[in-house]
C-alpha cells in the first residue's frame, strides 16, 4: 500500500515539484535568529580577541580605522513534526490522511530535514523517532503502513503537552486530523505556538462528517467511546447538525487566520497528490 513502488514513484514526483517551486523545503523561511558563519549578511560587531580574522571587513577599516567583523544569518536545519490523528473517528479517512502524511514526510526526509512522527488519540504514541535522510524513507512509510486507529476520545490539548515534554527543539508541527476534538482545538494550537513552533493544520473530513443521512428513530454508537444513545432524528435535526459542523469548521479557519497558522481543508475525494501540489504551489507550509 504505502510501500508499493508505484506509490513511492508518486511521492517522488511530489518531491521533484517541491524542489522546483520551493527548493525542496516545506518551509518558506528557515533563517535562524542566531548569528554566525552562514552566507547571508546580517550585521556588524566589534572585533574581539579570538574572533575569526577572515570575518574582518577591511573596507570599513580603511575608511574609519575601526576593526569590525561581519555576522551572517545561520541557516537552520528544519525539524518537521507530524501529528497524525489516529482516533477511531478517523477510520474512514485514515488511509487518505496517511497518504498526505506520507507525502509531507517523504519530502522532508529527501530534503535532509529532521522528521518525527506521532499517532494521536487519547494519548500520544511514537510512530517514527526523530531521524533524517532519504535512507529513512522506507522505515517511515512502513511505520505509517502499520499504523492503526486506537484509543478513545481525541485529547488534543493533552497530546500537545505530551509532545512538548518530549521535544524542546522548535520546528514545524503539522497536525493531520478532522479537528473534531471534544475539547476543542484552540488551546492545543495556542500551546504549540507559545512554545515557538510553527504550526500547520491539514484538515481531512468526509461526507459522513458533514452530512446527517439518518432519519427517524436510530441507535447511535460513538466510534471512539462505544457509548450508545437512542435518538429521533428529524429533517430539522439533520440540518442543524450540518450547520453545527460548518460553524465548527469556520471556528477553525478563524482561529488559524487570527494566529497566523497555515490551514488546508480537504475532503477525501480529490487525489491526495492534488492537495499536496496545491499546498506547494501556494508557497509550502506557511500561513
Q: How far is CA 106 from CA 14, 152, 165, 209, in A?
A: 9, 29, 25, 28
pLDDT tens digit sequence for 180-235: 999 999 999 999 999 999 999 999 999 988 887 777 666 676 666 667 778 777 77
User: In the structure grid, which three cell numbers stand for residue 241, read together?
Assistant: 447538525
Q: According to the model, what pLDDT value does residue 37 have?
A: 47
Q: How far is CA 269 from the centre of its chain?
A: 21
In whole angstroms, give the CA distance from residue 200 to residue 207: 23
DSSP secondary-structure letter at 56?
Answer: B
Residue 133 backbone zone (phi > 0: left; psi -120 to 50: alpha; other: beta)? left
Residue 139 backbone zone (phi > 0: left; psi -120 to 50: alpha; other: beta)? alpha
If you search the block for the grid coordinates 500561513, which residue do you land on? 287
Task: Provide CB contacts within 8 A for 46, sequence distance 6+.
Answer: 66, 67, 68, 69
The reported pTM is 0.81
Q: According to the model, what pLDDT value does residue 284 have?
A: 81
Q: According to the model, what pLDDT value does residue 70 have?
A: 76
Q: According to the model, what pLDDT value does residue 158 have?
A: 96
Name the segment(s) of the chain with CATH classification 3.40.50.410: 5-28+77-281
Strand 40-46, strand 68-75: pairing: antiparallel
In whole angstroms, give the CA distance from residue 137 to residue 102: 9
Strand 68-75, strand 31-36: pairing: antiparallel
| Cβ neighbour number for residue 262 with a 10 Å cutoff | 19
Q: According to the model, what pLDDT value does residue 248 have?
A: 96
- Closest by CA to 159, choosing from 101, 93, 83, is 83
Residue 280 has φ and ψ, to the nearest 5°, of -65, -45
Which residues of the chain are modeled with pLDDT < 50?
28-38, 74
- Closest by CA to 145, choosing from 4, 20, 286, is 4
In whole angstroms, give the CA distance from residue 128 to residue 54: 42
In whole angstroms, give the CA distance from residue 142 to residue 229: 38
Of 3.30.420.40, 3.30.70.270, 3.40.50.410, 3.40.50.261, the CATH number of 5-28+77-281 is: 3.40.50.410
Amino acid at each position: 500500500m504505502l510501500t508499493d513502488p508505484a506509490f513511492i514513484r508518486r511521492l517522488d514526483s511530489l518531491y521533484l515539484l517541491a524542489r522546483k517551486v520551493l527548493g525542496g523545503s516545506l518551509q518558506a523561511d528557515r533563517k535562524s535568529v542566531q548569528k554566525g558563519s552562514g552566507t547571508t549578511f546580517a550585521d556588524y560587531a566589534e572585533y574581539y580577541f579570538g574572533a575569526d580574522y577572515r570575518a574582518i571587513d577591511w573596507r570599513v577599516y580603511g575608511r574609519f580605522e575601526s576593526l569590525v567583523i561581519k555576522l551572517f544569518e545561520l541557516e537552520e536545519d528544519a525539524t518537521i513534526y507530524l501529528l497524525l490523528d489516529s482516533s477511531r473517528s478517523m477510520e474512514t479517512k485514515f488511509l487518505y490522511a496517511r497518504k498526505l502524511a506520507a507525502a509531507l514526510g517523504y519530502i522532508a526526509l529527501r530534503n535532509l530535514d529532521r522528521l518525527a512522527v506521532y499517532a494521536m488519540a487519547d494519548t500520544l504514541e511514537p510512530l517514527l523517532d526523530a531521524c533524517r535522510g532519504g535512507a529513512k524513507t522506507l522505515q517511515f512509510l512502513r511505520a505509517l503502513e502499520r499504523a492503526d486507529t486506537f484509543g478513545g476520545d481525541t485529547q488534543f490539548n493533552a497530546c500537545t503537552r505530551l509532545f512538548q515534554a518530549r521535544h524542546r527543539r522548535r520546528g514545524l508541527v503539522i497536525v493531520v486530523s478532522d479537528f473534531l476534538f471534544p475539547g476543542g482545538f484552540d488551546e492545543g494550537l495556542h500551546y504549540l505556538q507559545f512554545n515557538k513552533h510553527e504550526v500547520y493544520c491539514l484538515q481531512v473530513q468526509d461526507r459522513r462528517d458533514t452530512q446527517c443521512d439518518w432519519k427517524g428513530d436510530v441507535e447511535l454508537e460513538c466510534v471512539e467511546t462505544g457509548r450508545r444513545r437512542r435518538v429521533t432524528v428529524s429533517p430539522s435535526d439533520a440540518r442543524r447538525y450540518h450547520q453545527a459542523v460548518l460553524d465548527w469548521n469556520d471556528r477553525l479557519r478563524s482561529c488559524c487566520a487570527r494566529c497566523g497558522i497555515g490551514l488546508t481543508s480537504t475532503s477525501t475525494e480529490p487525489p491526495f497528490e492534488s492537495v499536496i501540489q496545491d499546498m506547494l504551489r501556494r508557497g509550502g507550509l506557511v500561513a
